[in-house]
Amino acid sequence: MSRYFINLLFLIITWSAFSQNKPIDLNPKDTIEYKQSYGLGLGIDLSRILTGALDDNYKGFEIVADYRLTQNLYLAAELGTEEKTRQEDLYNFTTSGNYIKLGVNKNTYANWYGEQNLIYMGGRLAFSTFDNTLNNYQYFDTNRYWSPDGFANGSDIPEKFSGLSATWIEGVFGTKVELFSNLYLGASIRLGLILSQKEDDDERFPNLWIPGFNKVTWDSNFGIGYNYSISYYLPLYKKKNKIKKKIENSTEPEGPPKPKERL
């Protein structure tokens, strides 16, 4: 019996000595995984709705969407419809049609963990199909004897020009801020450049306004636009962000260069 207790005591002393010699980890690893949410954002453009409510000569509606592809890269799209009536000096016309814009946004804002706010730059490729209707026009005449109060009437019969289109690219700068849980308010400024457009075959009436692009000037293919959106973010899954590798500076003196190894 005494031999049994002696052996047991020997095992306990040996295990205690082994546990004390075990090195202590001075840099314990964080076992908690920090994951970011990935999903789809859907919303509407408030600026077009507000403009339509204040201006009887305008109607418009736009759906905005983005999808988080990587940590800072988002696929983005806008789909809309617009109708605009304009009165110029000699004519009145209405343009109506649809458009779609596809591209990407690059987030440049460093969020705290759990935030999804954006300050981004991006680009779009846009395409629009539309119709022009010349509602009425007048003749320009320098001799105002017969019409002292205005130009001579041309026609009040509407004339429609169909099958028109335009393609352009946009540079985008914008932001999105979370107001409440998953509800975001956004704003963006857009600079567009027309790549190509199809006008009236008879060249009787040029494209002076393009849905989704805005006003077209005679001497430039550039245009400026903007939007104010409200959108809801739908989380689909979570993914751990990639951690950039840190290069630690060695305090040891550099030795002679090593010979190159053959492949």
Sign (positive or negative) of CA dihedral 181, 120, 215, 96:
negative
Question: Three-state DSSP class for 180?
Answer: strand
Q: Which of 73, 199, 181, 227 is nearest to 128 (CA)?
A: 199
Domains of the chain, with CATH numbers? 34-238 (2.40.160.20)
Q: Which of 118, 113, 115, 116 is nearest to 33 (CA)?
A: 113
Q: Residue ranges of the chain with pLDDT lower than 50?
A: 247-248, 250-252, 260-263
CB 174 within 8 A of CB 147: no
pLDDT at 110: 87
pLDDT in tens, 222-257: 999 999 999 999 999 888 766 555 544 544 455 555
Sign (positive or negative) of CA dihedral 225, 226, 231, 234:
positive
Q: Which of 102, 106, 97 is nearest to 125 (CA)?
A: 102
Q: Tell me how far apart the alpha carbons of residues 183 and 194 are, in angstroms, rounded to a whole number.
A: 33
CB 148 within 8 A of CB 189: no
Q: Tell me how far apart the alpha carbons of residues 118 and 73 are, in angstroms, rounded to a whole number.
A: 11
pLDDT at 240: 77
